[in-house]
Chain A
Amino acid sequence: MTANQTLRADTIQGRSLWQDAITRLRKNHLAMAGLVILIIMVVVALLTPWIAPYSYEVQDLDLGASPPSAAHWLGTDTFGRDLLTRVMYGGRVSLAVGFIATTVALVIGVFWGAIAGYAGGRTDAFMMRLVDILYALPFMIFIILLMVVFGRSILLLFLAIGCVEWLTMARIVRGQVLSLRQQEFVEAAVAMGLSPLTIIIRHIIPNILGPIIVYVTLTIPSVMLLEAFLSFLGLGIQPPQSSWGLLISYGVETMEEYPWLLLYPGLVLSVTLFSLNFLGDGLRDALDPKTSKD
């Protein structure tokens, strides 16, 4: 209690929602564990070219598929490539696609939906019909077209996935904004003389962070799997490069003979997704002033 009071006295001025949220997040051990694991994942992914024990493409056909051993901690695949190395390199692609594509979806979706919902009327109708049209377009064709026009590159693949994923986000956000717009505190903000953009950023978006965060934690795994699917069709990553999604899909094929080829990539992906969910839940609670009294 006394510690709490001194904390308040020290920080009595100018604490924003985000600063409060960080304080609250720190107290949530599960969320912090998730955050630490994610940070470790990212750091390992960034440093992979220097710390990976083997090369991801050098094959040792004599060795073939071997179970985990002292030399190869996670074993080797059917071409005798070190699985740990391939998981580490795969992480680079999967984490990048997860974060970049989701960020693209998040930024476009939130702003598109918020503006449409807040403006209402014809602007809303026009913006949402555009979303409907894009929804109706088979996304595979859309991505293939992009690849054909701009050539194949990993970055473009990320953007393309993001450009497809934002549609649902825009719809979710618009629905939330429509109901929020009726609230008196938004009207009060208008009466105060704030500009529409400020109202959206300061008053509306903070109040829809809950559903946004939930959707983001759902989007990240789905774009990772989407990347694996596209790669499988020859539109994304090509062997000998790898991603978690690709490793898992090969692992499924050889599951009966070489279970470790499915087990370890799957485990890494699951741990990442768990961490994301815990962090997401923690963030959502931390951003809602009502959830914690202390």
Chain B
Amino acid sequence: MPVLSVKNLTVNFYTRDGIVNAVKDVSYDVDAGEVLAIVGESGSGKSVSSHALLDLIARPPGKIESGHAYFNDIDLLNCSKQQMRSIRGNKIAMIFQDPMTSLNPYMTIGSQLIEVLTTHSVVDKKTATLKAAHVLEEVGISDGLKRLKQYPHEFSGGMRQRVMIAMALLTEPELLIADEPTTALDVTIQAQIFELLHALRKRYNIAIIFITHDLAVVAQLADRVLVMKDGAIVEQGTTAEIFANTQHDYTKNLLAAIPNSQKPEQYRYQVPAHNNNSILEITKLTTRFPGLSSGLFQKKQYLNAVDNVDLSLKKGEILGLVGESGCGKSTLSKTIIQLIDSHEGSVKFEGEEITSLDSKHLKRLRKDLQIIFQDPYASLNPRMSVYDILLEPLKLHQAAPKDQLDQRIKELMREVGLSPSDIRKYPHEFSGGQRQRIAIARALAVAPKVIVADEPVSALDVTIQAQILDLFLQLVKRRGLSMIFVSHDLSVIRYLCDRTAVMSEGKIIEVDQTETVFNHPKNVYTQKLIAAIPTEIPHQSPA
């Protein structure tokens, strides 16, 4: 008998622009001890479909139009608030995406865990404390009693997600809903969390609904898969079935979009005969930030975010820069394009030292060195239309004659795959992928020689990501650009980059041809990183 049985769930959102059918007639079952993965891109309704069960969607504008969800003979969609409270967080627990924001920073881990226990069951504080410590150790946090007294900021991101899992397990739930629980985590931490979930499922026989956009994750963890698109289930089956015998076109697209190979031959960088062709030469670059504890009379403490880095970018190549969060890869890229001042070392662009330029020369340099940021929702001024966004760099650097400005803007839009008829729309009227195209067009407007791309696809859905990666390949080839591509996603790096530099704790620990780095990593850390990539999708037979 299934733990949870959802029947004909339909959820609508009543917005100013009309009714949005977020979930359309969705039915599924989850058995005890089973991991069901709900896969889909942003806006597919994968989160709403499970949040609605626990009354966690905003109503209004949301409205559950119809459906039943039987959990132990209680219909979750038609039960009293009191019944819901006794189930939520008790019999059905949830883990959210971002462990940084889902714990209260002003309460110790202990009091937050104990609160869960005392709310849902009648236990005295001592029993609760012991139980909390025990569960912490279950999820791999040793010395539980001592760690209970610590505050969330004393834990790393992966540790906090473990605390969240511990919190979810405290009440021994029958169903765990995990909403993208590893999206905000590094790949090595992600692998650890998966192992933990696997082990816990076996031990407690919990059913898990795992919501994710990442098919590679699904392959590793799930028993059954449910693929959602535009609020409806387009395909479901066991994991093996889905990967071996994909039925629906959308699922095929999702699978095809995972970059699990090298880039096509035509885009590969050919080493020219001359050796001396680096366009950027970075030597002994160090960037420091003042540390936390520096009293009035204490010597100032510094944190070397970028530590003695040597790197060169060859003309026409894509250099990948990979590392886990906090390794300094963003700081390095911003230091290179002079958004952050360096402390020591030199950056030479076409042989010219650029770390000590005055503002006039720096402006000239900005034309040649451009950056594309991670989040296309934050990197575009919300009050400027596409026209204004693209006009600004063109005017500033006099990149086009006055009477041809409009012409140039339309050309740029076409080049990055946007329709010129959208010229006076504002950023919020575009999707995430389109916004990133605008950001790319803005960087291209001044015809730069080098582009630094700081995680430009990590905020995008996997099918959009594939399109943007191919756009990068085309642009680099057509315009003869050189590019530094920063990412935490190893498969993206492998697909796109000619050479790869691995960064850890501010240092570059390995630089080589991408294939060499992936197939024969020399450094221990690199080996660990590569081993942590979710296992490749079971191979599809060639069509």
Contacts and interface: CB of A to CB of B under 8 A. Distances in A.
Interface of A: 8, 11-17, 20, 183-185, 187-195, 202-203, 206-207, 287-290, 293
Interface stretch (B120-128, B297-305, B364-372): B364-372
B426 interface: yes
Given A13-B387, A288-B383, 20 more contacts: A11-B424, A12-B423, A12-B424, A15-B387, A183-B378, A184-B375, A187-B334, A187-B371, A187-B373, A188-B373, A188-B442, A192-B396, A192-B446, A193-B393, A194-B392, A202-B384, A206-B381, A289-B382, A289-B385, A293-B17
Nearest to A182: B378
A193 B383 contact: no
Nearest to A207: B383
A60 B223 CA distance: 96
Contact of B370 (A11, A184, A191, A290): A191
B388 to A, nearest CB: 7
B363 interface: yes
A188 B383 contact: no
Q: How large is the interface on B (under 10, 10 to 19, 20 to 34, 35 or more residues)?
A: 35 or more
13 contacts: A13-B406, A15-B387, A20-B385, A184-B373, A184-B378, A188-B373, A191-B371, A193-B362, A193-B367, A193-B396, A203-B381, A206-B384, A290-B428
A202 B371 CA distance: 20
Contact of B428 (A189, A194, A203, A289): A289
Contacts of A183: 378-379
A14 B339 contact: no
Nearest to B425: A289
Contacts of B378: 183-185
Contacts of B504: none
A185 B380 contact: yes
Nearest to B17: A293
Contacts of A188: 371, 373, 379-380, 439, 442
B170 interface: no
Contacts, number: 89
B424 A207 contact: no
A185 B392 contact: no
Interface in B321-372: 334, 337, 339, 359, 362-363, 365-367, 369-371
B339 A193 contact: no
A-B pairs with lowest CB-CB distance, top 4: A193-B366, A184-B379, A289-B426, A193-B363
Contacts of B384: 17, 202-203, 206
Interface in B399-438: 406, 423-424, 426, 428
B397 interface: yes
Contacts of B428: 289-290
Nearest to A14: B387
B182 interface: no
A202 B428 CA distance: 18
**At the interface, is chain A mostly helix, strand, loop or mixed?**
helix
Contact of B339 (A16, A17, A191, A195): A191
Contacts of A192: 366, 370, 392-393, 396, 442, 446
Contacts of A16: 388
A7 to B, nearest CB: 11
B164 to A, nearest CB: 27
A193 B362 CA distance: 7
A15 B397 contact: no
Contacts of A11: 424
A11 B392 CA distance: 19
Given A16-B388, A190-B339, A289 B393 contact: no
B280 to A, nearest CB: 15
Contacts of A290: 382, 426, 428
Nearest to A180: B381
A201 B381 CA distance: 13
A287 B381 CA distance: 13
B361 to A, nearest CB: 11
Contact of A193 (B379, B397, B442): B397
Contact of A191 (B16, B337, B383): B337
B287 interface: no
A203 B381 CA distance: 7
B15 to A, nearest CB: 10
Contacts of A12: 423-424
A44 to B, nearest CB: 35
A287 B383 contact: yes
Contacts of B423: 12-13
A45 B164 CA distance: 66
A190 B393 CA distance: 11
B385 A15 contact: yes
- Residue among B366, B379, B423 with the highest chain A CB neighbour number at 10 A: B379
B339 A187 contact: yes
B446 to A, nearest CB: 8
Contacts of B375: 184
A185 to B, nearest CB: 5
A274 B436 CA distance: 43
B374 interface: yes
